[in-house]
Amino acid sequence: MATTDYAADVKRYVPAPDEKAIAGIVKHLGIALKSSQDAALVSCSSKDELARVRDSWLKKKLALGDDDKALDASIKAVCDKMKADKNKQRVTFYYLLAEAHGKLASLAK
């Protein structure tokens, strides 16, 4: 998938997304997006997956210091927002989390 395809998916939720932030997320995820279709998606029904999103994306990449309960609540909010999507694109999911936490500018470098 090209960055423009990811941007089109994000636009389903955000009318005017930050293209540089999307490119930053795609760059961060790198080969993982290409390795398998499963790696490019987020499963809201998997507790292990959501813990990985919290620990790897929110805590490590975005450097958030909130407690797990608060971070889990923001992940649940994005799951709820994307509930109509059977296949939740990881780039879109991560974008919505970064936006919710005011971290888009840090990704747009």
Distance (Å, whole) CA 57 – CA 75: 11
pLDDT tens across the length of the chain (109 residues): 666 789 999 999 999 999 999 999 999 998 888 877 788 999 999 999 999 999 999 999 999 999 999 999 999 999 999 999 999 999 999 999 999 999 999 998 7
Distance (Å, whole) CA 107 – CA 109: 6
Region for 78 from its dihedrals, namely left if φ exceeds 0, alpha if ψ lies in -120 to 50, beta otherwise: alpha
